[in-house]
């Protein structure tokens, strides 16, 4: 039986995996990253459970214990088809357990995979769900309701029924009907949103704030292998960056309107930023020491949330931000607040 505050701790074999392209700074992959989840992170836990439910994928994790390998090497060592190895790696990447990056080689670049984390914990009864009564409030911010922006083309904005303005023309973002947006894309820059913070001011304590959104990279048409470093800011302070692996297409987005072409971007990945008294976490991985106590949640009558691509990012691959009628998830930018009164 589990105790009142039991935590499931799954130890994935510690990995110090480095990509060492000749003449380049070595990049450490999976060095002491820890994923900490609560039982309420249902989607992320489901993705990890799916990744760990396959004997073949467990073999791949063991193989990548102290190796950095490409798909053909993984397939050869485990005696499986390359197509199967590629599918298993994709599932492991989506769960956050494995990372794949392109590395220059003698005969061109190749993609190498390594373990991304060394520990995974699941808190079955987070303290703020047991020690004190709490309430949860949800806020949905339509992606077209940005307060400010600064972007560079290629860019565009569409509603559920049509393009808003001309593609690659930033003036379209000033149109009054921009609030109708269901898909927004740009190459570099940011979008700023302002959430009402009346609840944050009135609450006795705030135990956690989570932002969730569907996003992917931005390429011409679509390109499933097009990395982009996407940065998040809360209260004008940077709280973390994650890498989108591609501009996803080839499979139609579940929410997309019928007029949207199959040759264009179809869907993104649902990402989550969670902030508590211990730090900021993107998809369960700690990305900043900023906390609920250090971030300026109540200085104004609003709380700012920004998403964008920095000009000095390693991968300036743009982004697509999805509304409730595009992509695979029927939602805009959602904010969840766990609090007590």
- Encode 62-88 in three state secondary structure: HHCCCCCECHHHHHHHHCCCHHHHHHH
pLDDT single digits (tens) 281-292:
998 889 999 999
Structural domain includes residue 2: no
269 & 286 share domain? yes
Structural domain includes residue 198: yes
56 & 192 share domain? no
Nearest to 141 by CA among 196, 67, 69, 96: 196
The pLDDT of residue 27 is: 39
> Above 90 in pLDDT, residue 341?
no
152 & 18 share domain? no
The pLDDT of residue 106 is: 66
Per-residue pLDDT band at 52 (split at 50, 70, 90): very high
84 & 141 share domain? no
Please say which residue of 62, 97, 123 terminates a domain: 123
Structural domain includes residue 54: yes
Structural domain includes residue 1: no
Please say which residue of 99, 123, 147 terminates a domain: 123
CATH code, domain carrying 38: 1.10.10.10
Domain of 216 in residue numbering reads as: 132-340
206 & 106 share domain? no
**212-229 b/e with 16+ CB inside 10 Å = b?**
bbbbbbbbeebbbebbbb
Contact assessment for residue 281 and residue 232, using Cβ atoms and an 8 Å cutoff? no
pLDDT single digits (tens) 102-124:
877 666 778 889 888 777 777 66
> What are the counts of helices (DSSP H) followed by strands (DSSP E) for the chain?
6, 21
Please say which residue of 90, 123, 156 terminates a domain: 123
Q: Which pTM value belongs to this model?
A: 0.68
CATH code, domain carrying 335: 2.60.120.260
pLDDT single digits (tens) 194-221:
999 988 888 888 989 999 999 999 999 9
Number of domains in the chain: 2
90 & 169 share domain? no
Structural domain includes residue 270: yes
Give the number of other Cβ atoms within 10 Å of residue 276's Cβ.
20
pLDDT single digits (tens) 54-97:
999 999 999 998 788 999 999 999 999 999 999 999 999 888 88
Provide the token pair at 51.
Answer: 């990744």
């Amino acid at each position: 039986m589990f105790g009142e505050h039991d935590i499931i701790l799954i130890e994935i074999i510690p990995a110090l995996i480095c990509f060492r392209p000749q003449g380049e700074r070595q990049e450490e992959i999976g060095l002491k990253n820890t994923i900490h989840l609560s039982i309420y992170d249902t989607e992320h836990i489901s993705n990890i459970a799916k990744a760990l439910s396959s004997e073949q994928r467990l073999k791949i994790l063991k193989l990548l214990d102290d190796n950095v390998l490409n798909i053909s090497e993984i397939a050869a060592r485990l005696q499986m088809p390359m197509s199967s190895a590629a599918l298993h790696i994709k599932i492991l990447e989506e769960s956050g357990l494995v990372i794949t990056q392109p590395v220059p080689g003698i005969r061109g670049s190749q993609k190498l995979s390594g373990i991304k984390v060394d520990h995974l914990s699941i808190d079955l009864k987070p303290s703020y769900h047991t020690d004190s009564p709490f309430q949860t409030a949800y806020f949905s911010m339509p992606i077209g309701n940005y307060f400010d922006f600064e972007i560079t083309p290629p860019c565009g904005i569409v509603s559920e029924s049509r393009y808003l303005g001309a593609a690659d023309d930033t003036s379209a973002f000033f149109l009054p009907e921009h609030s109708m947006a269901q898909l927004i894309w740009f190459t570099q820059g940011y979008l700023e949103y302002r959430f009402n913070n009346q609840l944050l001011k009135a609450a006795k304590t705030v135990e956690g704030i989570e932002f969730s959104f569907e996003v992917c990279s931005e390429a011409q048409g679509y390109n499933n292998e097009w990395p982009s470093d996407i940065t998040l800011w809360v209260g004008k302070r940077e709280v973390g960056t994650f890498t989108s692996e591609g501009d996803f297409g080839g499979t139609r987005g579940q929410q997309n309107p019928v007029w949207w072409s199959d040759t264009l971007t179809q869907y993104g990945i649902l990402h989550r930023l969670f902030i508590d008294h211990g730090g900021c976490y993107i998809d369960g991985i700690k990305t900043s020491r900023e906390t609920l106590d250090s971030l300026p949640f109540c200085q104004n009558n609003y709380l700012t949330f920004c998403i964008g691509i920095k000009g000095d990012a390693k991968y300036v691959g743009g982004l697509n931000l999805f509304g409730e009628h595009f992509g695979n998830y029927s939602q805009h930018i959602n904010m969840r607040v766990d609090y007590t009164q």
